[in-house]
Amino acid sequence: MKNPDKHIRKAFSDALSGLEVVNPYNSDEVAIPLSDFRVPKNKDFYILMTNQWTMPRYDSKCDKYSWTCGITLDIVTKFANYQGSRLFSDDIKEVVMNLTEDLTIANFYKQRQDWNFPDDLEMMTSTENIYRKLIQYEFELTEKTE
């Protein structure tokens, strides 16, 4: 039996590696790093892979393991001194959606890939504005045994 967790994270890492998005406030291309839970040092724009879960289902008909799995991508944009808006996080989200629309998960057949978009999260402090967009993915996978 294979645990699909690391294979799912690898699929996202491959799809989003080298991601660059045009900052709508200055038209510069900005590298958007993808991290596994840990916030990258000294970055104002990044994506975190968080809240991963897996539920195994044994399919006795084919002697294969099936899984229902999920992971959340947390898109974060931070701006100093009351600047910025959700616009840049919207643009990053759109690029991510297009790049992850049909992921290939190594060692697994994918029967289904769905996503949903929970409420945006925002935080304003006296020194910065933080805008977050979440994308929750859910997969139905069956282990390849060949």
Any idea where the domains of the chain sit in the sequence? 5-143
Cα–Cα distance list, 18 to 33, 46, 47, 96, 141 (Å) = 7, 12, 12, 12, 27
pLDDT band (50, 70, 90) for residue 70:
very high
What pLDDT score was predicted for residue 114? 97
- Report the CATH architecture of 5-143: 2-Layer Sandwich (3.30)
What pLDDT score was predicted for residue 59? 62
Of the candidates 68, 38, 44, the residue with the CA atom closest to the CA atom of residue 56 = 68
pTM (predicted TM-score): 0.90
The chain-wide mean pLDDT, for the chain, equals 91
Helix (H), strand (E), coil (C) string for the chain: CCCCHHHHHHHHHHHHCCCEEECCCCCCEEECCEEECCCCCCCCEEEEEEEEEEEEEEECCCCEEEEEEEEEEEEEEEEECCCCCCHHHHHHHHHHHHHCCCCCCCCEEEEEEEEECCCCEEEECCCEEEEEEEEEEEEEEEECCC
Structure tokens at 141: 């996978």
Pairing of strands 45-59, 34-36: parallel
Structure tokens at 111: 């029967």
Residue 113 has pLDDT above 60, yes or no: yes
Structure tokens at 60: 């006795």
